[in-house]
Amino acid sequence: MRWWQLKKRDADLERELRSDLELEEEEQREKGLSPEDAQYAARRAFGNATLIREQTHEAWGWAQFERWLQDARYALRQIRKSPGFAAVVVLVLALAIGANAAVFSVLNAVLLRPLEFPNADRLVQITSMKAGKPVGVSGPDWRDFATQNQSFEKIAIYDQWRKNVSTSRRGDDPAEVLVGLASPQFFEALGIQPLLGRLFTADEGLQGRNHVALITEGFWKAHYQRNSMILGHTLTINDQPYTIIGVLPDTIPGWLHGAQAQLPVFEPFLPEPGVWDESARAGRGYGALALLKPGVSVDKAQADLARIARSLASTHPVDRGVDISVVPLETMRTGNLRPLLLLLMGAVALILLIACSNLAALLLARNTSRQREFAMRKALGAGRAALVRQIFTEILVLSVLGSGLGLLLACGAIRAVRLNDPGKIPQLLALTLDWRVVLFTLAAGLGTCLFFGTAPALLSARVDPADALKQGGRSSSGVARQGFRRILVTGQIALSLMLLVAASLVLQTLEHLERQDLGFRVDHLMRGHLYLPPVRYATADAITRFCDELTDRIRVLPGVKDVSVTTVYPPRDGWHMMFSIEGHPVSRLEEVPSTIFGVVDANYLRTAGIPLTAGRDFSQSDREGTLPVGIVNQAFVKQYFPGVDPIGQRIELGAPASLIAQDTWMGAQRETISIAGVMRDNYNQGLTLPVAPQLITLFRQTPHVNFGFKDLLVRSNVAPETLEQAVAQQIHALDSQLPLSEVETMNQYIGDMTAVNRFTSVALTGFAAVGLLLAMLGIYGVMAYLVAQRTQEIGIRLALGAPRGAVAWLVSLQGFRMALSGVMIGLVGSVLTSRSLASLLYGVSALDPLTLLAASTLLVAIAVAACAVPARRAANIDPLLALRAE
């Protein structure tokens, strides 16, 4: 039923009644009555037309609806009468509901929205685990899983590499992009159909047949203007021609690859020659995606793979101690954001609770002042149910207004997040306001309405007409209502305290992360990434020569202080490398020491600003042919040379020859290094993990680990971002087809690493501020109301000689007592919920006593401040006026 239908039918009824009435009139006239008398007679015969209409409406079954419309109209009139009150209510609601809708839309994007793949519920990620850490699968492992399992329809192997991609046949003007490497099963498991062309065939994963590429829709649009004749065109990837065979829809999310954005180009999985050889079994690090057979559970699949892993471990020593983990793809998507999201959701739920209790208090105060109105309505015959319904309608109208405004606020917040480079938190790329969010907001609004409206509506409707209509009637039920109000305020303070504590802890975490001494000089440092394609830089010699020339050119640029080409830089780790210490043979593979490892040039420590603590730095005299030297960090010394002078000690890179077959991939990397110096510990596993043992060597002395991946570090005297152009020009001058990518200052880089923390702390701080504001309003409102209620009593006290200071003190004490009990409850709440917060904190405990104390003090201070105005007003009451009012 729609209201316009109602209107139409109402008009129809009116016409019917009028035409019958006119007929009656005519008949009366025909009987000989004068027109006037005829009219009267007809009216008389017809009776009360309005009543007929109302009764007919009843027959239509819309009376309920009409009554509600009436109530709504009345409610709107009431709102217009007190716009200030309405504005406060709508604003409080909008803030609370907007915050909830915004956080819910994040939750929706990351947790709730189903994956866009046909068999999303059967997709899992397979990872090999070593000592509890995920290490990825290797090619041979994958092949054995694929042939021996009984649980999967398909298992795909995939990876992503940064490569220089050019859309021209000659390969000029390349850009470094993330290229996905995927076995044909990858797209089959995801159930992806190409928009154009075809997917990889099984034999395209083989050497020599693999020069085909798939591009995604975004890349197609950006580089080929959606030209449908693109199939068969040549794409140059690392100086090699690849034929485009198909266009993929943009549905493969970057997080699947551990990347921040979608990958634009895919080629068949074949990252290096020999990846399928038995010698590559220990070369883990690839992703494996699998489609479960229908009806097979994740646990069963895991058990199945564990069985295969055990049999592999019995034949291949390198597979010993390797476990298998099978994780649904849905879980992968959430990644490490789950605790954060739950925390944020908890925080906004607290906001909503505070807002609810605030609104309940506001409504209660307002309805108390409207008691005479309610009593009048009751005296005029309105039932209690009618009163409750009417009060509810008013709340509902306010709720609808507040929810609408809240939704607008959420839209704004989402736009702000999207504009603020959401790529740093890849899951937020999918952030939108979809129907789930709208539905949630509506439900939150209605729920809030029910929650905060019930008590005031019921309490207010309990009015006794006779009592309230008496002049100046002060209702006796006021005591109960004041108790309820105190509970509300106490609750608000408790919830605000919890919010404040959480926000403060997360802020401290961010502070720790951004201000901690990372062990190197973060300022005035720029970095960028280079990839020297093996076609043109085939030998370690060629790579070294290019890097030396490049650093020579950049070093003389104005503003440049130092420059270094390296494969690692803090706070990032390099790759892990097994080694053996001369004179310390081990007998089992599990006992082989390992370290984070990187190859650098001689300027690395100076450029990065890492001080030496012992020994010497690399020098230009450390060249090919001389004994290779390495520098280790303090953690390395502590773990592997406790109480021994590490300088001059010799280690051998790679797994010990006695434990691993000579011809394996790992076995080939063997080189003796002499430790020349010790560098100060610098963060090398991100910002939150402790410093791990690290070893760096010169790439010109360790050619077999000298790959084409290089990072460029530039230390400057000027603002580092001003150098980007000049540095890129120098690279271009040496090799016009070599792109420099990921150029950013180290400060930006660190900032990106703390993006999630900053997002959290901004959100939580905002929520805490809203919570505090609401709590302050609540305390003020209640105290002001109490003072107003007790005007006479205070007047009498003053008249009887009570000093004004004592009166002010009395009022303040009341507020102080509420604040104190609220703080107590809030502290208990903080302690109870501290565990859920702990995983997001770094450098501060969830039960940090200083934080708890500071937050408590702040809240009590705010409460007392909120009491100040009512207290002053109480002290300034004129006893004469107060008594006369009685």
Partner 1 sequence: MSNEKPQHANLLLGTLDMLILRTLVWGPAHGRQIGKHIQRTTNDFLQMQHGSLYPALHRLEKRGWVTSNWEMASDRNREFKYYRLTEKGKKQLQVEESQWKQMTEAVARVMWPSAEES
Name the site residues for partner 1 (rule: CB under 8 A).
Answer: 12-13, 15-17, 19-20, 22-24, 26, 45-48, 51-52, 55-56, 58-61
- Shortest approach of partner 1 to residue 19 CB, angstroms? 6
Which one, 21 or 76, has the nearer CB to partner 1? 21
Dist CA 844 CA 838 (whole Å): 9
- Residue 55 or 839: the one with the smaller Cβ distance to partner 1 is 55
Q: Cα–Cα distances in Å, from 810 out to 766, 777, 794, 814, 870?
A: 34, 20, 10, 6, 11
What lies within 8 Å, CB to CB, of 220 at 6+ separation is 195, 196, 226, 227, 230, 247
CB 337 within 8 A of CB 756: yes
Q: What's the min distance (Å) between Cβ of 389 and partner 1?
A: 24
CB of 56 to partner 1, least distance (A): 5
Q: Shortest approach of partner 1 to residue 48 CB, angstroms?
A: 7
Do the Cβ atoms of 554 and 725 come closer than 8 Å? Answer: no
Backbone phi, psi, residue 548, to 5°: -60, -45
As a whole number of angstroms, the distance between CA 93 and CA 742 comes to 44
Helix (H) or strand (E) holding 625: none
Q: Quick one: 63 or 405, whose CB is closer to partner 1? A: 63
Residue from 785, 753, 600, 758 nearest 688 by CA: 753
Residue 48 or 876 with smaller CB distance to partner 1: 48
Q: Rank residues 23 and 865 by Cβ distance to partner 1 and give the closer one.
A: 23
Q: Which is nearer to partner 1, 40 or 575 (CB)?
A: 40
Q: Least CB distance from residue 39 to partner 1, whole Å?
A: 16
* CA–CA gap between residue 698 and residue 634 (Å, rounded): 19
To the nearest whole angstrom, how small is the minimum distance from the Cβ of residue 52 to partner 1?
5
Least Cβ distance, residue 40 to partner 1 (angstroms): 15
Sign (positive or negative) of CA dihedral 408, 414, 417, 418? negative
Smaller CB distance to partner 1: residue 62 or 531?
A: 62
Q: Based on C-alpha coordinates, what's the Rg of the chain? A: 38
Cβ neighbours of residue 163 closer than 8 Å, sequence gap 6 or more: 176, 177, 179, 237, 238, 531, 533
Collapsing DSSP states into helix, strand and coil, what is residue 21?
helix
| Nearest CB to partner 1, comparing residues 49 and 446 | 49
Nearest Cα residue to 481 out of 352, 369, 353, 351 = 369
Minimum distance, C-beta of residue 71 to partner 1, in the bound complex (Å): 23
State which residue, 60 or 842, has the beta carbon closest to partner 1. 60
Judged by beta carbon, residue 20 or residue 886, the one nearer partner 1 is 20
DSSP-assigned states of every residue in 166-182: ESSTT--S-EEEEEEEE
Q: Is 15 or 545 the residue whose CB approaches partner 1 more closely?
A: 15
Minimum Å gap between C-beta 55 and partner 1 is 4
Task: Return d(Cα 196, Cα 780) in angstroms, integer.
Answer: 66
Least CB distance to partner 1 at residue 782 (A): 51
Closer CB to partner 1, residue 48 or residue 722? 48
Quote the least distance from Cβ 31 to partner 1, whole Å: 14
Q: Which of 537, 515, 463 lies closest to 703 in space, CA to CA? A: 537
Find the shortest distance in angstroms from Cβ 91 to partner 1: 44
Assign residue 232 a region (left: φ > 0; alpha: ψ between -120 and 50; beta: otherwise). Answer: left
Are 532 and 786 within 8 A, CB to CB?
Answer: no
Of 488, 355, 440, which is closest to residue 108 (Cα–Cα)?
440
289 touches 120 (CB < 8 A): no
Kindly write down the DSSP assignment for every residue of 319-356, as one continuous string.
Answer: GTTEEEEEEEHHHHHHGGGHHHHHHHHHHHHHHHHHHH
On the 0-12 / 13-18 / 19+ scale of CB atoms within 10 A, 11 is exposed
Omega before 803 within 30 of 0, i.e. cis: no
> Judged by CB, which is closer to partner 1: 13, or 455?
13
- Between 12 and 663, whose beta carbon lies closer to partner 1? 12
Residue among 323, 328, 295 nearest 307 (CA)? 323
Which is closer to partner 1, CB of 8 or CB of 835?
8
Q: Is 479 exposed, middle or buried (0-12, 13-18, 19+ CB in 10 A)?
A: exposed
**Which amino acid is present at 200?**
F
Q: What Cα–Cα distance (Å) separates residue 384 from each residue in 368, 374, 375, 376?
A: 16, 10, 10, 12
- Nearest to residue 594, comparing CAs of 580, 606, 610? 580
For residue 27, the minimal CB distance to partner 1 (Å) is 9
Q: Closer CB to partner 1, residue 45 or residue 443?
A: 45
* Closer residue to partner 1 in complex, CB, 17/799: 17
Q: Which positions ≥6 away from 794 have C-beta within 8 Å?
A: 787, 807, 874, 877, 882
What is d(CA 480, CA 482) in angstroms, rounded to the nearest whole number?
5
Closest by CA position to 374, among listed 365, 786, 383: 383
* C-alpha pair distances (Å), 42 with each of 10, 51, 79, 407: 21, 16, 43, 56
> Smallest gap, in angstroms, from Cβ of residue 826 to partner 1?
57
For 280, which DSSP code?
A: G
If the CB atoms of residues 20 and 663 are measured against partner 1, the closer one turns out to be 20
